């Protein structure tokens, strides 16, 4: 068999295997819609939980400050209540009473805020607990979908490994210069090194081949590249003739 024809047939077959590897990798790295929906729902639920926990932390931090202020106002009130018994005139008495009223009001405000924070922390904590329990139930219900996806990824990993073994076998039967040329194109042309000639044009870049170049591709006495995109060109007749020769042989 013509060595160029032999290599070209193998290069087209090799391209098919690389395409299958790329498809398998893409599928493995692209969760199905139901998995993406679950991931997005889990992300949103986690964000909501994080926000609730931040609110609890903020309330607890404020509660520490409220308790501190409450204690300070208690000391302030105690101080002015003692001062009330020591005043010597009406002006001093009025001033002390004013301070006592102010401290009393401040204590009421801190007590009210203390109660509000306590109640809010209890409600938020209950909400967090309920959401975590609900999330656990949701994750349990979703486990079948997740397990199926993990199984599919395992299948794809095995498929990729098997295809990689096929690549080694095919490449070992191609002349080194043609194999090297193919691999350079595979890298520079985003994973597609060969192109079928359809109606006299490269099927990928659509460059119209000169009649003489079309004949050279048809004779397949050498590996021909597209004059525009440089990919290796072939026609379906080449593959069909190879199949016929193989069957006859």
pLDDT by 10s per residue, the chain, length 249: 478 999 999 999 999 999 999 999 999 999 999 888 888 888 898 999 999 999 999 999 999 999 999 999 999 999 999 998 888 899 999 999 999 999 999 999 999 999 999 999 999 999 999 988 887 767 766 788 888 899 999 999 999 999 999 999 999 999 999 999 999 999 999 999 999 999 999 999 999 999 999 999 999 999 999 999 999 999 998 777 666 555 455
- Whether the Cβ atoms of residue 66 and residue 111 lie closer than 8 Å to each other: no
- Whether the Cβ atoms of residue 236 and residue 196 lie closer than 8 Å to each other: yes
Q: How far apart are CA 249 and CA 242, in angstroms?
A: 10
Q: Does residue 98 belong to any structural domain of this protein?
A: yes
Q: Does residue 155 belong to any structural domain of this protein?
A: no
- Whether the Cβ atoms of residue 2 and residue 220 lie closer than 8 Å to each other: yes
Residues 121 and 197 in one domain: no
Q: Which of helix, strand or coil describes residue 195?
A: strand
Residues 132 and 44 in one domain: yes
Residues 48 and 121 in one domain: yes
Number of residues that this document lists for the chain: 249
Q: How far apart are CA 211 and CA 19, in angstroms?
A: 30
Residues 43 and 16 in one domain: no
Q: How far is CA 160 from the centre of its chain?
A: 21
> Structure pTM?
0.66
Which residue's entry shows tokens 């679950």? 38
CATH code of residue 243: 1.10.287.1490
Q: Does residue 125 belong to any structural domain of this protein?
A: yes
Q: Does residue 147 belong to any structural domain of this protein?
A: no
Q: Does residue 158 belong to any structural domain of this protein?
A: no
Residues 58 and 129 in one domain: yes
Residue 217, domain extent: 3-29+174-248
Q: Does residue 199 belong to any structural domain of this protein?
A: yes
Contacts of 168 (CB under 8 A, 6+ apart): none
Which residue's entry shows tokens 């299948």? 155
Residues 103 and 183 in one domain: no
Give the phi and the psi of residue 90 in degrees, each rounded to 5: -65, -35
Q: Count of domains in the chain?
A: 2
Residues 120 and 50 in one domain: yes
Residues 178 and 243 in one domain: yes
Task: Give pLDDT, residue 1.
Answer: 47
Q: Does residue 160 belong to any structural domain of this protein?
A: no
Which residue's entry shows tokens 């199926």? 148
Token digits of residue 87:
């005043």
Among 118, 141, 164, give the residue marking a domain's end.
141
Residues 51 and 103 in one domain: yes
Residues 179 and 79 in one domain: no
For the chain, the first-to-last Cα distance in angstroms comes to 10
Token digits of residue 54:
């931040």
CATH code of residue 47: 1.10.287
Token digits of residue 147:
């397990």
């Amino acid at each position: 068999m013509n060595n160029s024809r032999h290599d070209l047939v193998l290069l087209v077959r090799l391209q098919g295997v690389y395409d299958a590897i790329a498809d398998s990798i893409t599928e493995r790295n692209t969760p199905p819609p139901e998995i993406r929906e679950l991931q997005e729902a889990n992300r949103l639920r986690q964000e909501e939980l994080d926000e609730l926990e931040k609110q609890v932390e903020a309330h607890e931090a404020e509660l520490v400050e409220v308790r501190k202020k409450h204690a300070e106002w208690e000391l302030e009130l105690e101080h002015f209540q003692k001062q009330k018994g020591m005043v010597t005139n009406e002006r001093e008495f009025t001033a002390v009473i004013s301070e006592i009223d102010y401290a009393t009001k401040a204590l009421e405000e801190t007590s009210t805020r203390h109660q509000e924070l306590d109640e809010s922390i209890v409600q938020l904590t209950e909400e967090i607990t309920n959401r975590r329990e609900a999330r656990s139930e949701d994750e349990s219900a979703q486990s079948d979908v997740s397990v199926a996806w993990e199984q599919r990824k395992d299948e794809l990993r095995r498929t990729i490994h098997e295809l990689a073994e096929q690549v080694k076998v095919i490449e070992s039967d191609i002349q080194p210069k043609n194999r090297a040329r193919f691999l350079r194109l595979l890298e520079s042309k985003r994973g597609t090194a060969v192109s079928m000639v359809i109606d006299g044009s490269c099927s990928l870049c659509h460059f119209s081949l000169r009649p003489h170049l079309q004949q050279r591709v048809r004779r397949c006495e050498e590996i021909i590249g597209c004059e525009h995109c440089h990919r290796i060109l072939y026609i379906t007749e080449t593959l069909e003739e190879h199949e016929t020769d193989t069957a006859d042989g």
